[in-house]
Structure 1
Amino acid sequence: MTLRIMTIYGTRPEAIKVAPIIKAIETADGMESIAVVTGQHREMLDQVNTMFSIVPDYDLNIMSAGQTLNEIVARVITGIDGILEAEAPDAVIVQGDTSTVMGAAVASFNRQIPVIHLEAGLRSGDISSPFPEEANRKLTTQITALHLAPTATSKDNLVREAVSENDIVITGNSVIDTLLFATENLEVTFDDERLEALSAARDAGTAGRIMLVTAHRRENLGEAMVQIGQGIADLATKYPDLTVVFPIHRNPKVREAIRPAVEGLQNVLLIEPLAYAQFTKALSLADVVLTDSGGVQEEAPSLGKPVLVMRENTERPEAVVAGTVKLIGTHRQRIVDEVSLLLDSEEAYNGMANAVNPYGDGRAAERTIEAVRWKFAGGARPVDFGDDRTV
């Protein structure tokens, strides 16, 4: 019996986390991979597919300018439905919390095709933050057959919501599989000459300190994003030896909020979004990471980087508990104060910079394959990630 597994994804963060899973399915005995992209992120999605030599079997290319969330979900469900009818997969894998995930899960459930939810069980506890991701995750949970939780905390969240433990496997997070692959196997140079020069200066020991910044969350658009820009400008002025590397999101609302505060500051490098391999290298160069991204909260601790998260809550509390991530919100002065503490206090910096990694060991794809075999083909249940360690 050959299990036909369809993986549906649409954004760069999804691609980063499903890529090792797709490659594992492609080489697994008794499995056939069907890759479907919705194109919710276009160029950034294609970059990750190219890096892993993944050629999607279907590409819906759903995005158009000014689409609402409801329009995105409607196009996902309609587009996926025809593919499900044509291919009749044995199960569908979705990852995370995007509109693609929720729409694809609903379409699969309505076709009575089992849903496998990769990165299941993350919860912030606030249905409106992150928006709409928290709701997308919870909705997907209700119609999932196999929950692949990245950590014991995520499993506990699911159990509290009455999900059967017999439907949950703790795999670790596949983002660590991808991160380790990229940092260990790829020779990377930067397209931006300023960033390439900074990398060379870092190698020569003359770069000073580096802070990597990412900001894009929907709930931070508006005044919060303005505060972020002003806080970064204050830090760049306060610490002339600090270079701020800011791959700025293409959302015009992000750019309109950030640019006025930082333009003209020589030590703030506003650059175009980086391809994934380049971003991992930029992450490796940084001394401090300032972000509102979920994925960066998982990746940076693996490289021993202190992470200050510009949010009021997080669905990824494990690194907060471990001490490598700190929630600081988006107020201008709080951003300045928290970054300053790390730059001025060796004790505070070292307290966050130990490379505690509660998210994975690079074997999430392997455990995922074992979990799919166990659930759908009578294989042995895999040993949960974390059973032999404190998570």
Structure 2
Amino acid sequence: MNRKICVITGTRAEYGLLRWIMQGIKDDPELSLQIIATGMHLSPEFGLTYRAIEQDGFVIDRKVEMMLSSDTPVGIAKSMGLGLIGFADALNDLQPDLLVVLGDRFEIFSAVSAALVARIPVAHLHGGESTEGAIDEAFRHSITKMSHLHFVAAEAYRQRVIQLGEQSERVFLVGGLGIDNIKRLRLLDRTSLEEALDFQFGAKNLLVTFHPVTLETATASCQMAELLAALADLPDTRLIFTLPNADTDGRVLIEMVEQFVAEHGNARAYASLGQLRYLSCIAQVDGVVGNSSSGLLEAPSFRKGSVNIGDRQKGRLLAGSVIGCEPTRESIAAALEHLYSAEFQESLHDVVNPYGEGGASEKVIETLKRYDLSGIVKKTFNDL
């Protein structure tokens, strides 16, 4: 009987990383793919991105509604509760042999909590990483402790998962999943991308994504205001914004970006670009600006510079292409000036991505297919 592997996805970016694993499971005659879509995928406000999953040829087996019309701490906590109820029902219906999840968001925490109680083994992707400015930090490590197989992007992260008490033989170093997209997707050229975006590139172009720093109180709008002030002063620069995720205080940032775009003809904002357009943008712009993980994980493979603002990604491994700065307009402006400097641009030719050169998806699939799952839900704490 085929091994039933259930993949859960809640955001556009997460699906982009999971896509080739899902395709590999679907194509393997010894495996049976199940998909649960949740979170932002089901929200009109964030582009109903579950449609992109279906357009790629996948069948979504269950949709777990958990989004509320609030991004307050109370609203997010209630969403997690709704998710726990929904995942309990979905997993009971689907009865998977193994659950596959990625990362660190609250949707995934709810899903894995339900799986733990249901005694369904969990394979966790991109564990062991650190984002000290976000509540994702605690979610990620908690998901690690509720999971049974671990696929990490770098040796430092493998060591951290083991430090958390996981058995080394269950921790697999595979590299970053995002690099597989870069290798496999046929990216759009500039003309095709301009047509797809209804946007014309200029002499200078930047891709901008800024999310709330969820472990800081009442800083989101202040930091976004500083970023927008720095961007407003840039001469002859076209700006492509991707809107923030459904995090605490995310909606106030969306409103600020939309207001900025309404007042600046050189800027456009998109709720969701999808992986093809997003990666094509990285290939065409001069650099990535904000605090999205893509500026650290994917942009180095394009030899593109990233301006990483504030503490949201603090603790991650950084390529030489990443410029860190404080969330003030002066610091951001200085980082942007450095990004465009001839010396920095020359240095990008020698950048090495610390998350590898691709091939992670195939390594994950092979382990999911072959690993003996009997008795795997009983874990022994690995004392160092």
TM-score by length of 2: 0.85
Structure 1 counterpart of 2:332: 335
**Residue of structure 2 aligned with 1:99, choices 89, 106, 110:** 106
CA separation of 1:254/1:21 partners in 2, compared to 1, >3 Å: closer, same or farther? Answer: same
Q: Which amino acid aligns with 2:33?
A: S
Which has the higher mean CA deviation after the structures are superposed, 35-44 or 109-118?
A: 35-44
Structure 1 counterpart of 2:206: 211
Structure 2 counterpart of 1:370: 366
The CA deviation string for residues 8-54 of structure 1, in whole angstroms up to 9 with x for no partner, is 11111221111111111111232111111113333353254145222
Structure 2 counterpart of 1:274: 273
* Whole-angstrom CA distance in 1 between matches of 2:195 and 2:274: 9
Does residue 171 (structure 1) correspond to residue 167 (structure 2)? The answer is no
* Whole-angstrom CA distance in 2 between matches of 1:79 and 1:6: 15
Does residue 4 (structure 1) correspond to residue 11 (structure 2)? The answer is no
Q: Give the conservation status (yes or no) of the 8 Å contact 1:190–1:278.
A: no
Q: Which runs of 5+ in 2 are unaligned?
A: 375-384
Detail structure 1 runs of 4+ shifted over 6 Å in the superposition: none
Structure 2 counterpart of 1:296: 295
Q: Report matched runs for 1:312-351 at 5 Å.
A: 312=311, 314=313, 317-318=316-317, 320=318, 322-343=319-340, 345-351=341-347
Q: Which amino acid aligns with 1:6?
A: C
SS at match of 1:244: strand
Identity over aligned pairs, percent? 22
Deviation for aligned residue 1:253: 0.5
SS at match of 1:217: coil
Does residue 254 (structure 1) correspond to residue 228 (structure 2)? The answer is no
- Between 1 and 2, higher relative CO (CA 8 Å, sep ≥ 6) is seen in 2
Q: Report matched runs for 1:1-391 at 5 Å.
A: 1-42=1-42, 43=47, 45-66=49-70, 68-124=75-131, 126=132, 129-130=133-134, 132-184=135-187, 188=193, 190-193=195-198, 195=199, 197-198=200-201, 207-219=202-214, 221-234=220-233, 236=234, 240-249=235-244, 251-258=250-257, 264-270=263-269, 273-312=272-311, 314=313, 317-318=316-317, 320=318, 322-343=319-340, 345-352=341-348, 354-376=350-372
CA separation of 1:272/1:138 partners in 2, compared to 1, >3 Å: closer, same or farther? Answer: closer
SS at match of 1:140: helix
* Whole-angstrom CA distance in 2 between matches of 1:190 and 1:63: 32
Q: Give the conservation status (yes or no) of the 8 Å contact 1:149–1:155.
A: yes
* Whole-angstrom CA distance in 1 between matches of 2:153 and 2:304: 20
Q: Which amino acid aligns with 2:221?
A: G
* Whole-angstrom CA distance in 2 between matches of 1:11 and 1:216: 14
Q: Which amino acid aligns with 1:55?
A: V
SS at match of 2:357: coil
* Whole-angstrom CA distance in 2 between matches of 1:259 and 1:35: 33
Deviation for aligned residue 1:261: 5.8
Deviation for aligned residue 1:66: 1.5
Deviation for aligned residue 1:230: 1.0
